[in-house]
Structure formats: structure tokens, C-alpha cells
Chain A
Amino acid sequence: SAVISQKPSRDICQRGTSLTIQCQVDSQVTMMFWYRQQPGQSLTLIATANQGSEATYESGFVIDKFPISRPNLTFSTLTVSNMSPEDSSIYLCSVEAALGGAFFGQGTRLTVV
């Protein structure tokens, strides 16, 4: 099983500012996934991050709003840019498990005021 460290675990941010979320995995993985979970809702995939190439964004998510870095096979960051209260959510990073399923980080609970 993979151990994923995600930080910060929570933050309260002013609108108009940006927050960068970090995700560290204890093993090398090809793909890392970033999800958003709005309050009381399900998980929605934001983008898939591959090392050495640009992230692939899902419909409704754009690079200018959610820039992603993937400098190596164990680390990725997601930035939530120019935040508004609508960005208040839980953001989760995830990796695939070798035998099926996915592991998730502990999540970042973001509140924008």
C-alpha cells in the first residue's frame, strides 16, 4: 500500500489569494490524481498529473485556475488560484494501487472567506 502525505490539512484563505497543496507519496507512481469534494458531495476529478508532461484536466477545470506541478514520480502540487468562496471544498490527491483501487491523501479542507 502507498502512504500519501498531503498538506496543509486545512486552511482558511482570503478571496483573491492562492493556495498550493502538496502531495508526497512514499513510492514512485506514474500518475497522480487530484479531486475536489464539495461539502456533502461526491468526488470530482480535477486533473491527472503525469511526471514530465502537462496535466490532463477534466471538463470544467482549467490550468489557469488549478495549475499542477509534477516534478518527479513521488510529488505533486495543486494550486487553487484567485480563490472565491465557491472554491471552499476538500481537495484530495490520489494514486492507483498496484492490485486495484486507489489510495487517497488525508485531504485539504479549504475555506475561502
Chain B
Amino acid sequence: GQQVMQIPQYQHVQEGEDFTTYCNSSTTLSNIQWYKQRPGGHPVFLIQLVKSGEVKKQKRLTFQFGEAKKNSSLHITATQTTDVGTYFCAALIDQGAQKLVFGQGTRLTINP
């Protein structure tokens, strides 16, 4: 079935450093969504990208959707301890009915 590959699996940074996670698909995606899951919590929706080459910003977070709509990235500038958690990309797939296919997630830990 449709797969969305996400790297890296883990990332440990010093507080203040930047962080990026990448999501790739072998097929063109209609949209890509990003979620954050804090330790012990549930996934929380961050943003949805639908247009080729789209870039959206939320404070220190920058989300990009590739020109070919096959890849996406989430970049956090100057990480803070509140950024700790696992970041998932998810593609909305239409196989008769729409459903979300999640990437493997990138677990971010931060050294204060």
C-alpha cells in the first residue's frame, strides 16, 4: 500500500539548535499533514499543505511541500525544550475512501 517515509527516526539537539524532519513518497500526494505528539500525549494537528511548492510558517516552525508534491519538510528554528516530542507527517490517501497514512515519525529530544 501507499507508504510515506520519514527521516530521521531520532534527532537529539542542543537547545537553540535547528531541527528538520523530512517526509518522502514515491507517488504524488494530494496533501500532506503534520502532527506533533508530546511524550505520553496524543497527536495534535499542526498544519496541512496542499499546493505544489507551498511554504507555511507558524512562529519558529516552517513547513514545505515539494514542487512535485512527493516530499515535505518541517524545520524548527532555535529549538526550545517545549518542542520535545515526536513529529509525524501524514498523507491523505484516497482509496475509495479517504484515509491518513502516517510516516514513521521523528522523535526530537533536546538538551537544555
Contact = CB atoms under 8 A, between A and B. Distances in A.
A101 interface: yes
Contacts of B102: 42-44
Contacts, number: 48
Interface stretch (A14-22, A62-70, A76-84, A104-112): A104-112
A92 B97 contact: no
Contacts of A58: 99
B31 to A, nearest CB: 7
A24 interface: no
Interface in B47-97: 47-48, 50, 88, 90, 97
Nearest to B47: A101
A101 B34 CA distance: 8
A48 B43 CA distance: 18
A33 B45 contact: no
Nearest to B89: A42
Interface residues of B, number: 21
Interface majority SS (helix, strand, loop, mixed), chain B: strand
A56 B44 CA distance: 24
A38 to B, nearest CB: 12
Interface residues of A, number: 21
A100 B99 contact: no
Given A48-B99, A100-B31, A102-B100, A43 B45 contact: no
Contacts of B42: 92, 104-107
B60 to A, nearest CB: 20
A73 interface: no
Contact of B45 (A31, A41, A56, A97): A97
Interface of A: 31, 33, 41-45, 48, 56, 58-59, 92, 97, 100-107
Given A41-B104, A42-B88, A59-B1, 19 more contacts: A31-B97, A33-B99, A41-B105, A42-B102, A43-B43, A43-B100, A45-B99, A48-B97, A48-B99, A58-B99, A92-B42, A92-B43, A97-B45, A100-B48, A101-B47, A102-B100, A106-B41, A107-B41, A107-B42
